[in-house]
Amino acid sequence: MTTAGQAPPVAPATSPAHRTRAATALLVAAIVLVALNQRPAVVAVAPLLGDLRADTGLSSALAGLLTTLPVLCFGAFAPVAPRLARRVGLETAVAASLLLLAAGIALRLVHPVVALYAGSLVAGAAIAIANVLMPAYVKREFLRPGAVMGLYSASLNVGAAAAAAVTVPVADALGLDWRAALASWLVLAVLATALWLPVAGTGRSRRGAGPDTGAGSWSLLRQPLARQVTAFLGMQSVQFYSIAAWLPTLLADAGVPRGEGGLLLGLSNVAGAAGALVAPALAGRMRVQRPLVVAVLGAYVVGLGGLLLAPASGTLVWVAVFGLAQGGGFALALTLIVLRSSTPLVAARLGGVAQCVGYLVASAGPLVLGALHDLTGGWTWPVVLLLAVLAPMGWAGWGAARDAALDPPSSVDRLPQH
C-alpha cells in the first residue's frame, strides 16, 4: 500500500489542462444527468404501488419485491462493471448502461406482470454498472474530483427526491395510468444518453490489454484499506435503505399523520442532497477525511436518537439531520473509493467490490428491521440496532479515511482511453 501522495498519475482521456471551460461544463452536465437517472427507476415504484396492486392483484410481498429487486441487482451486477469497462472502454460501458436502463424502463409498459419484474431487473443491472463506473470516470477526467463527486452524489439524491415527489402529481395532471407514469422516466434516460454520447465520447476507446477475469477486484479485499472502505459503504447503505423502507410507518405509529410520512421522507432526501454536495468537496481538500467521518456519525446519532426518544416532536429536525447524515455519508463513501484508489481501474474494481457487498448487505436491512419490529411490537429495538451499527461503521470509516492508497492488483491496471 502506498501513501495517497505516491499514487501514480493517470492521464485523463482529454487533459483538464487542455479542456475549455465550455467543454468542462458540458462534461459536468453529462455526469449530473447520468446521476439523475440512477434512482427514479427504483423510487418511482413506491408511490404507485397502490394503483399497481389494484390493477395486477399482486400481494404486498410480491409488490415489495419490485423495490427490493433493483437493490439486489445493485450488488449482484456491480462486479460486472469493471470487466465491461476493461473490454469496451469506460465511456462505452456507461453509454451501454444508459441504453440498458432505457430498455428496462420501457419493458414495464408491456402488460404481462412478469415484464414488471424483468424491467426492474434490467434497470437494476444498468444502474449497478453506472454506480460503479461513474466515480472511476470522475477520477480519470478531473485532477481534483471532490467537487464533481459532490455534484454527482447530490444529483443521486435529487433524482430520488424528484421521483418520490412528482411521479404521482405528473401522472394525475397528464391523465397517465401507473404503467405510463413509470415509463415517463424514460425521457430522462434518453436525454442523458443523448448528451453523454457526444460529450463523453464512445466507440473510440481502446480495448484493455487483455480479458479482465475479475480476480483483481476481489483480491483487493486482501488489503485492510479496501475492507474498511467496503464496510463503511455497506453499513452506511444499511442505514439509508432501512430508514427509507420504514420511516413513514415508524412515524405513523408514533402519531404523525400518515400523509406526512412520505413528505418527511422526501425532506430527508432533499437534506441528503445538501450533505452529498458538501462532503465530497471538503473531502477532496483533505489528506485525511476523519473529521468528516466523525461529523457524519454525529449527525446519525442526533437523527436516530431523536427518532428513538421523541419521534412525534421535533420530527422535522430528526428527519433533516438524518438526511444530512445519509447524504453526506454515502457521498463520502463514494469519494473514499476514488481517493483511496491509485488508478481509475482500481477505483472501478474497488467500487464493484464495495457496492456488491454493500448493497447485498443493505438489502437485508429493511427485512431485519421489520422482523425485529414484529418480534418486539415496537420501533425501539430496531432503532437501537441502527444506532449500534454506527460503532463498526465508525471504526471502518476511521480506517478508510486515512491518507493511503490501495496497491493495484496487477501491473496493467489502466482503464482504456479513447
The pLDDT value given to residue 3: 46
Q: What is the pLDDT of residues 330-364, one digit of tens each?
A: 999 989 998 998 888 888 889 888 888 888 888 88
Which pLDDT band, with edges at 50, 70 and 90, does 59 fall under? confident
The pLDDT value given to residue 319: 93
Higher pLDDT: 165 or 253? It is: 253
- 5-19, 75-89, 279-293, 328-342: range with lowest mean pLDDT: 5-19
Q: What is the pLDDT of residues 83-123, one digit of tens each?
A: 898 888 889 999 999 999 999 999 988 888 899 899 999 99
Q: Are 34 and 153 in contact (CB under 8 A)?
A: no
Residue 207 has pLDDT above 60, yes or no: no
The pLDDT value given to residue 201: 65
Mapped onto helix, strand or coil, the DSSP state of residue 116 is helix
The pLDDT value given to residue 191: 96
Percentage of the chain exceeding pLDDT 70: 88
Using alpha carbons only, give the angle 161, 166, 171 rounded to the nearest 5 degrees: 150
Higher pLDDT: 407 or 158? It is: 158
- Determine the Cα–Cα distance for residues 16 and 418; give it in Å rounded to an integer: 15
Residue 389 has pLDDT above 90, yes or no: yes
- Determine the Cα–Cα distance for residues 87 and 206; give it in Å rounded to an integer: 8
Q: What is the pLDDT of residues 167-204, one digit of tens each?
A: 888 888 898 898 999 999 999 999 999 999 988 765 44
- Determine the Cα–Cα distance for residues 104 and 46; give it in Å rounded to an integer: 17
Length reported for the chain = 418
Residue 65 has pLDDT above 80, yes or no: no
- Residue spans per domain, the chain: 21-400
Q: How deeply is 354 buried, as exposed, middle or buried, from its count of CB atoms within 10 A (0-12, 13-18, 19+)?
A: buried
Residue 371 has pLDDT above 80, yes or no: yes
The pLDDT value given to residue 83: 87
Residue 374 has pLDDT above 70, yes or no: yes
The pLDDT value given to residue 361: 87
Higher pLDDT: 68 or 223? It is: 223
C-alpha cell recorded at residue 335: 469519494
Higher pLDDT: 262 or 202? It is: 262
Residue 23 has pLDDT above 90, yes or no: no
- 74-78, 182-186, 364-368: range with lowest mean pLDDT: 364-368
DSSP code of 314? S
C-alpha cell recorded at residue 263: 413528505
Question: Domain 21-400, what fold?
Answer: Growth Hormone; Chain: A; (1.20.1250)
C-alpha cell recorded at residue 245: 423502507
The pLDDT value given to residue 18: 66
Chain centre distance of CA 121 = 16
Alpha-carbon distances of 71 from 65, 356, 362, rounded to whole Å: 10, 10, 8
Q: Dihedral of the CA atoms 96, 97, 100, 106 (nearest 10)?
A: -130
- Determine the Cα–Cα distance for residues 64 and 53; give it in Å rounded to an integer: 10
The pLDDT value given to residue 411: 42
Q: Which residues pair with 341 in a beta bridge?
A: 406
Q: Are 47 and 172 in contact (CB under 8 A)?
A: no
- Determine the Cα–Cα distance for residues 311 and 401; give it in Å rounded to an integer: 32
SS3 content of the chain, % helix, strand, coil (to 5): 75, 0, 20
Per-position DSSP letters for 56-98, written without gaps between them:
H---HHHHHHHHHHHHHHHHHSTTHHHHHHHHH-HHHHHHHHH
Which pLDDT band, with edges at 50, 70 and 90, does 412 fall under? very low
Percentage of the chain exceeding pLDDT 90: 39
> What is the overall mean pLDDT for the chain?
84
Residue 157 has pLDDT above 80, yes or no: yes
Distant-in-sequence, close-in-space partners of 251: CB < 8 Å, separation ≥ 6: 260, 261, 264, 311, 312, 315
Residue 63 has pLDDT above 80, yes or no: no
Per-position DSSP letters for 129-159, written without gaps between them:
HHHHHHHHHHHHH-SS-HHHHHHHHHHHHHH
